[in-house]
Structure 1
Amino acid sequence: MPAGRITRYLDKLAEYHGYPIKIRVDNGSEFTGNTFTNRERSHGITIEYINPGSPYQNGFIERFNRSYRTEVLDLYLFNNLEQARKVTEEWLTI
């Protein structure tokens, strides 16, 4: 996902939940580039990067990724993105 899209999504989340004090992310280019880092700084958010090659340091997202992969992605053959979004939304609300 591009950094601009991530920041827009985080801003929408902040409308409902407020801005966090700190956010933990991996070292992907979408999180290390200026778009993401400048946005976080402008909202007073500290960025905490996990150590490279240490996904266990970000256990919540790793657990989510595994559950999503085994409970959604491995079970369906999607014809389009809208169908994937619908199945994902249903999965998230269960």
Structure 2
Amino acid sequence: RINVDNGAPWGSPRNPGEVTELSIWLIQLGIRISFSRPYHPQTNGKIERFHRSLKAEVLDGRQFSTLEQAQTAFDRWREIYNLQRPH
């Protein structure tokens, strides 16, 4: 299951709960979609924190020449983020 906000590319801010092509594709893959409360970004606080850490610790100022280089950087960071950092 993935919890998403109501904005692009997940849904429609004007019609909360309305799904996009991306959401339909995920549903077809067997991934359930749940939407946060409209206009309440704190509902997704964990994912917002995740994105902030990913940007600061992996992406800022870096460029990857290949997808393999990017994947290697993500894999290293995921190990740190999930298993080594203080929770």
Count of paired positions: 70
Aligned residues of 1:51 and 1:57 also touching (Cα < 8 A): no
* Aligned CA distance change for structure 1 residues 86 and 38 (closer, same or farther; 3 Å): closer
User: Which residue is 1:84 aligned to?
Assistant: 70
- Using structure 2 for the length normalisation, give the TM-score: 0.58
TM-score (normalised: structure 1)? 0.55
Q: Contact 1:50/1:58 (CA < 8 Å) preserved in 2?
A: no
How large is the RMSD of aligned CA atoms in angstroms? 2.9
Work out which of the residue numbers 33, 50, 75 in structure 1 matches 2:20: 33
Paired amino acid for 1:69:
K
Q: Which amino acid aligns with 1:78?
A: F
Q: Hey, which of these two has a bigger chunk of helix by percent?
A: 1
Identity of aligned residues (%): 34
User: 2:33, 2:68 → 1: CA distance?
Assistant: 34
Gaps of 5+ in 2: 12-18, 81-87
Opposite residue 35 of structure 2, the aligned amino acid is E
Q: Are 2:50 and 1:50 aligned? A: no
Matched residue type, 1:26: D
